[in-house]
Amino acid sequence: MTDPALRPPEHLEILEFSRRRRLFMWIWVLLTTALLIGALVLANLITAKHRKRIDLTREQAFTINPATREILGKINLDIDIYVTYLDSGPYEGEDRSLPPAYDMLKNILTEFHIANPRINVKFAEREGDPALGEIRSIFKDEPAANMVYMVARRDPPLKQAFPIQTLYQGDPKTGSLLVFFAEPRLTAALVQAASDHRGFIYYTVGHGELSPSRPDNLGLTTLARTLDTWANMALKELNFANMSEIPTDCDAILIAGFGGSLSPPEVNIIDAYLRRGGRLFVSLNPDKDAGRGLTQLLERWGVRITADVVFDPTSARYRIGADAIVVSNFENHEINRGMNNVGLLMIGCRAVEPIPGDRRAVTVLMYAPPTAWAQPLSRKVIQQEQTDPVAPPIAVCSQQLVEGGKTARIVAWGAYLGLSNVSLATGTELRDDHCGYVLNNFRWLLEQEGMIVAPPKRMDRRPLDLKPQQANLMFAVVVVVLPLVGIVLGVIAWFFRRK
């Protein structure tokens, strides 16, 4: 072996250059590592003060609607939300869609807290969690698993509790999450908890209207329950017998499925109520004459009732009759917030039209589909003729300035069954799109535009279903095989570089 001292000078220079190069490389590695760590620390400090999340899901499953964020920002009292997700729950092991729904619920509630820090959220995921003790103290009961508990810090405190399963629809066998309506339901519950006012909707009787006392398909029991649970509104009966004016606690009048005739005194009572800034919701029965009294009353306030019934032959593909239509054409209005690409089933529709006027704003809310037409009720055969209007309007809202600077508001639907049990629920399951839209109509009537919430999100989440052998194989590949391959490749690269 040659003595390094006897080597040519150029070899010494090469060795010295190699040493300096390695030194500079180590300095560069240390500097870049320090800079990377510093950048990570700085990024965490910035994100801690300015939280921003990016939702890359197609349906924006983890992002709340801007309207919801605006509503939450207006809540001016402390509200505590507790969520229990325990292995002892009645749905654990039975409903495989519960775990993904719970993950989404955690994200949504986190967004709620970001939108308004006065909304405090705590999760209890194991026995002995301190949140369980707080629930026992507040609700004076043993906490149940897989529940949402809510308490508004007011005097006296307002408490609510409901299962997590009421906030979504999923396939319990496959675990697929179909519809997630936690955002609109929780928003409505929070608004109700923060509101001091309970609205009263007076429904008329004596003219063939639908009634909350009927539990069948033609009843309003689902409407009454939905108004009470999610809008803090209650239905009261309005009987015109021995009545000279509308009660002072009436926030709106509901004429649901009108099929009779208003007498002149009844028309005068309702008209006087509207002139004081009242509100009216009318849904029409297409098979019966609305009567001269109601027709003239609505025309006075910007709504024309036609004698035409709407039919759509393409409804057969939904296995429904031609007198039932699926509405997806919503005009730009506060009531229709977020209704893009939402289809509502309307059974039995009459065409209604707006009548413009001074000091009055009239808007069509819904149009029938382009394949639908309106024909006179007197025509016995369902057949389109050239003179029949195509895609007629089936819902209209009107607001008009009255004396004292107040505003009278009217919503008129040509589909009376749109408020009934058959439209709002399937068995015991609510049709949340439809229920939410009905609630938004009432919120607009009561000048609660800030509480109008977007419809629930339709999901397309299918969990990866692995058998135990497949899960073990995936674990072995990810945890054992891939790291070993990386180590072997590194050793081979080191060996060749040494040569």
* CB neighbours of residue 315 within 10 Å: 20
* Residue 276 near residue 301 (C-beta atoms within 8 A): no
pLDDT band, residue 121 (cuts 50/70/90):
very high
pLDDT value, residue 6: 53
Alpha-carbon gap, residue 345 to 415, rounded angstroms: 10
pLDDT value, residue 234: 93
* Residue 159 near residue 82 (C-beta atoms within 8 A): no
Q: Which sequence spans correspond to the domains of the chain? A: 1-52, 66-193, 197-430, 468-499
pLDDT band, residue 89 (cuts 50/70/90):
very low
pLDDT value, residue 465: 56
pLDDT band, residue 91 (cuts 50/70/90):
very low
Summarize pLDDT for 2-35 with one digit per residue, the tens. Answer: 555 555 566 556 656 567 777 777 788 888 888 9
User: Positive or negative CA dihedral for 254, 260, 263, 264?
Assistant: positive
* Residue 348 near residue 287 (C-beta atoms within 8 A): yes
What is the rounded average pLDDT of the residues 229-236? Answer: 87
pLDDT value, residue 395: 95
Q: Which residue has the tokens 């197609």?
A: 58
State the first-to-last Cα distance of the chain, in angstroms, to the nearest integer.
18
pLDDT value, residue 300: 94
Q: Which segment, 29-33, 34-38, 64-68, 265-269, is predicted with the most confidence on average? A: 265-269
The CA-atom distances, in angstroms, between 448 and each of 24, 79, 115, 331, 445 are 68, 20, 20, 19, 7
Between 298 and 388, the more confident residue is 298
What is the rounded average pLDDT of the residues 160-187? Answer: 83
Summarize pLDDT for 407-440 with one digit per residue, the tens. Answer: 999 999 998 888 888 888 877 677 778 888 999 9
C-alpha angle 44-55-429 in degrees, rounded to nearest 5: 130
What is the rounded average pLDDT of the residues 162-186? Answer: 83
pTM (2 d.p.): 0.71
Strand segments (E) across 185-229: 199-204
CATH of domain 197-430: 3.40.50
pLDDT value, residue 377: 78
Sort strands 393-401 and 360-367 into parallel, antiparallel or unpaired: antiparallel
Mean pLDDT across the chain? 83
The CA-atom distances, in angstroms, between 103 and each of 175, 258, 389 are 13, 45, 49
What is the rounded average pLDDT of the residues 426-455? Answer: 82
**Is the bond preceding residue 172 a cis peptide, omega within 30 degrees?**
no
pLDDT value, residue 489: 84
Looking at the domain covering 66-193, what would its CATH class be? alpha beta
pLDDT value, residue 14: 63
Alpha-carbon gap, residue 460 to 481, rounded angstroms: 33
pLDDT value, residue 8: 56
Burial class (CB in 10 A: 0-12, 13-18, 19+), 306: buried
What is the rounded average pLDDT of the residues 158-162? Answer: 85
Alpha-carbon gap, residue 233 to 223, rounded angstroms: 10
pLDDT value, residue 351: 92
4-13, 89-98, 138-147, 346-355: range with lowest mean pLDDT: 4-13
86-100, 147-161, 434-448: range with lowest mean pLDDT: 86-100
What is the rounded average pLDDT of the residues 92-105? Answer: 80
And the tokens for 340?
A: 């893009």
What is the rounded average pLDDT of the residues 146-163? Answer: 87
Between 431 and 401, the more confident residue is 401
Which residues does 180 contact at the CB level (< 8 Å), separation at least 6?
Answer: 61, 101, 104, 167, 168, 456, 457, 459
